[in-house]
Amino acid sequence: MAITSELRDDGVRVVTMSHPPVNALTVQGWFDVAAAMDEASADLDTHVVVLRAEGRGFNAGVDIKEMQRTSGFEALLGANKGCFAAFKAVYECAVPVVAAVHGFCLGGGVGLVGNADCVVASDDAYFGVPEVDQGALGAATHMARLVPQHLMRTLYFTARTISAADLVQHGSVLEVVPRERLDDAALAVAGEIAAKDTRVIRAAKEALNGIDPIDVNKSYRFEQGFTMELNLAGVSDELRDTFVDRQSVDKQSVDKQSAGTEKVT
């Protein structure tokens, strides 16, 4: 797994998440995202951040398999603290954060994007918070920054997803472009911001956070309390085991189909 950070000559810092196969981040991965954002804040040569990912999708949330391999609540507590740190670092980054989203953006991915300042997406991008299917709560705070309240509740209760194209209509996604143009589109917006006086932009970021009607850090922390309750009740373990077992069965099915295809070929 790698969270890389590269500062370009134009003042745009590109932070890339790469954790195959689906960018479901481990506990350490979430803290690494937070560290990259903190580095951007502290570096006065950084005028704006582009948060992007390599692989099949932007982010699939928490690495549930890591959680199920760990006894007790160590991994759960680590994931809670790591996600909180990452989301908070994006929101409180001293410079604007442009999220470049492709493929799936689920759970913790919505936490990152919902706290970003600008969102550009590819035409295959979609967003969702499937937490209820996995015995957890969280990221409703951030989904509510992407869609109106009643739609957020419907998406949350049903675990449905919503396309990037639909989010353009709600004003939360700036533009949708073909996958091959995503990086260029994100860098174009970031370049506009980077060209401004960074002293003014940094002041503007702090000012806009200061007038935000919702305290996103406090709101998300409140959600996490219910996740802990569900874990203590044993509900979360049961649903996560079902999720992991289902993934294992699906993988075996795909492997068998691939083997059959190879024989026919």
Average pLDDT over residues 88-112: 98
Per-residue pLDDT tens over the stretch 170-181: 999 999 999 999
What are the sequence ranges of the domains in the chain?
2-248
Average pLDDT over residues 126-145: 93
Pairing of β 48-53 and β 97-101 = parallel
pLDDT for position 237:
77
Mean pLDDT (the chain) is 92
Q: What percent of the chain has pLDDT over 70?
A: 92
pLDDT for position 252:
55
Confidence (pTM): 0.90
Amino acid symbol at 241:
D
pLDDT for position 263:
43
Confidence of residue 102 (pLDDT cuts 50, 70, 90): very high
pLDDT for position 256:
52
pLDDT for position 19:
95
Average pLDDT over residues 186-195: 98
What 3-state class would DSSP assign to 98? strand
Per-residue pLDDT tens over the stretch 12-44: 999 999 999 999 999 999 999 999 999 999 999
Confidence of residue 121 (pLDDT cuts 50, 70, 90): very high
Average pLDDT over residues 167-191: 98
Element spanning 124, H or E: none
CB 25 within 8 A of CB 62: yes
Calculate the alpha carbon distances from 199 to 5, 48, 71, 97 in Å: 22, 12, 47, 16
Per-residue pLDDT tens over the stretch 231-251: 888 897 788 777 677 765 555
Per-residue pLDDT tens over the stretch 213-230: 999 999 999 999 998 898
pLDDT for position 168:
98
pLDDT for position 248:
57
CATH homologous superfamily for 2-248?
A: 2-enoyl-CoA Hydratase; Chain A, domain 1 (3.90.226.10)
Q: Is the pLDDT of residue 123 over 50?
A: yes
Q: Is the pLDDT of residue 155 over 60?
A: yes
Q: Is the pLDDT of residue 264 over 70?
A: no
In angstroms, the CA 126 to CA 223 distance is 23
In angstroms, the CA 110 to CA 104 distance is 10
